[in-house]
Amino acid sequence: MSNKVLLQIDACRNCGSTGRINEQIGLLAEQNGWTSYIAHSARYANLSNLKSIQIGSKPEEYWHALETKIFDNHGLSSRRSTQRFINRIKEINPTIVHLHTIHGYYVNYKILFDYLIKSDIPVVWTLHDCWNFTGRCVHFDSIGCDKWKSMCYDCPIRGGYSISAFRDRSRVNYRLKKECFTSIENLTLVSVSHWLEDLVRQSFFKGLPNVRTHTIYNGIDVNVFKPSSSATVNSLKEQLNISGKKILLGCAAPFGVSKGYKDFLALRQFLDDSYAIVMVGLSQEQKKEVDSKGIIGVSRTQNVQELADYYSMADLFVNLTYSDTFPTTNLESLACGTPVLTYDTGGSVEAVDEYTGIVVEKGDMNVLTETIKSFTSKHKISDTCRKRAVLLFDKDVKYQEYIDLYESILKKRK
């Protein structure tokens, strides 16, 4: 057995974007001679090929969520389950701990970091959003807040995920995070977009001699996400009764306001019947609403291959996100040969170039509509989209960068 042990910690196990990422990194690590573990929450766990550690139970996570909503102390509940998890960490004795998303009602970050600080285990932390350096929010881009650069207080966000609607502990949370997260002697921060890395360099992590920063783009399986056959695409169009129409695809899970849900409803009113809008990732209530508006709603695809068929069917993938770090949906679309229209949001624009995508200002429905109408056909650029995805976002290439990073960290310790 390998004497190099990787422990990844994430809210998801082999589901969602971060869960698929840590699964692929773990499997690649094993191919490179590592023993690989994934520690995760109870609620978001698909079958995995990695050695698995569930940190808490669903009731404990529901209690954590309740504490968050009442006391605004997200990440500070789950005390007993985190302490039990610390005992498991001691047992497996990891060579490197790789953190992903540690918010999500499943782990107590103070207890975890108190242990990591004392253990002297090198820590790699992939930042998938901005929660790591704010008082409580996951994204602040949509509201234009920059208090996180010096001190969070009087948070302009009221309610929502990771936030209490009744209390505002953003100043206390900010100070505690800063104290915990900047005290590890060997910390490497990996941002999934250059946009996020630039924010990290402006946050309380800036200028710290014990903290290194990198950008590693997310990767996708380009052997799964690839153009589907003409027969498959035509069959799907017939099934949806949209043959002969120009097809716009939106995809998110969940499909909330921050992902442009209301903008898609508005867009339908600006376009004639020669355009079909398909939205994937809707709740049952949303599906009923969009169906009544003349939009084709899909709750979820049966599998990844079916999702690739939807991407392949579309003439244009439309990402009307207001808050995003580096959405993998853009990459999946490009790999299927479909260009991307995205709002000028976060790192979303980094997926495309002038030949494979279009960038539009957030919320400008007139420009959005005219841009869509001026777009003629994807056929001339389909190969270009595919080549960009294969060249820049192949998971086997991107996640090898993590393995190389682990090895370089260990080499410096010798």
pLDDT at 1 over 50: no
Confirm if 80 and 55 have CB atoms less than 8 A apart.
no
Q: Quick: pLDDT tens for 179-202.
A: 999 999 999 999 999 999 999 999
Which residue type, as a one-letter code, is found at position 375?
F
Residue 1: CB atoms within 10 Å: 6
Query: Which domains does the chain show, CATH number per domain?
Result: 5-219+395-413 (3.40.50.2000), 230-393 (3.40.50.2000)
At residue 216 the predicted structure's pLDDT band, cuts being 50, 70 and 90, is very high
Q: Tell the burial category of 67 from Cβ atoms under 10 Å away from its Cβ (0-12, 13-18, 19+).
A: middle
pLDDT value at residue 376: 79
Q: Tell the burial category of 16 from Cβ atoms under 10 Å away from its Cβ (0-12, 13-18, 19+).
A: middle
pLDDT value at residue 300: 85
Distance separating the N- and C-terminal Cα atoms of the chain: 21
pLDDT value at residue 379: 87
Which range is least confidently modeled, 77-81, 206-210, 265-269?
A: 206-210
At residue 2 the predicted structure's pLDDT band, cuts being 50, 70 and 90, is low
Neighbouring-strand partners of residue 36: 6
What is the distance between the alpha carbons of residues 363 and 14, in angstroms, rounded to a whole number?
33
Q: Which tops the pLDDT comparison, 121 or 376?
A: 121
Mean pLDDT computed over every residue of the chain: 95
Give just the sign of the alpha carbon dihedral 136, 141, 145, 146. Answer: positive
Give just the sign of the alpha carbon dihedral 359, 197, 127, 7. Answer: positive
pLDDT value at residue 159: 79
Give just the sign of the alpha carbon dihedral 185, 190, 191, 197. Answer: positive
Confirm if 149 and 163 have CB atoms less than 8 A apart.
no
Q: Quick: pLDDT tens for 116-128.
A: 999 999 999 999 9
Confirm if 143 and 157 have CB atoms less than 8 A apart.
yes
pLDDT value at residue 170: 96
Alpha helices in 182-259 (DSSP H): 194-200, 230-240
Q: Is 200 helix (H, G, I), strand (E, B) or coil?
A: helix
Return the DSSP state at 221: -
What is the distance between the alpha carbons of residues 291 and 276, in angstroms, rounded to a whole number?
12
What is the distance between the alpha carbons of residues 101 and 83, in angstroms, rounded to a whole number?
18
Alpha helices in 271-339 (DSSP H): 284-292, 304-313, 328-335
At residue 377 the predicted structure's pLDDT band, cuts being 50, 70 and 90, is confident
Residue 336: alpha-carbon gap to chain centroid: 20
Task: Express as a percent the part of the chain with pLDDT over 90.
Answer: 91
pLDDT at 60 over 90: yes
Please state the rounded mean pLDDT for residues 141-146: 89
Which range is least confidently modeled, 47-51, 161-165, 388-392, 408-412?
A: 161-165
Q: Which tops the pLDDT comparison, 16 or 83?
A: 83
pLDDT at 310 over 60: yes
Please state the rounded mean pLDDT for residues 261-267: 97
Q: Which tops the pLDDT comparison, 413 or 364?
A: 364
The secondary structure element, H or E, covering residue 165 is none
What is the longest distance spanned by two Cα atoms in the chain? Answer: 66
At residue 212 the predicted structure's pLDDT band, cuts being 50, 70 and 90, is very high
pLDDT at 155 over 90: yes
Alpha helices in 241-316 (DSSP H): 261-270, 284-292, 304-313
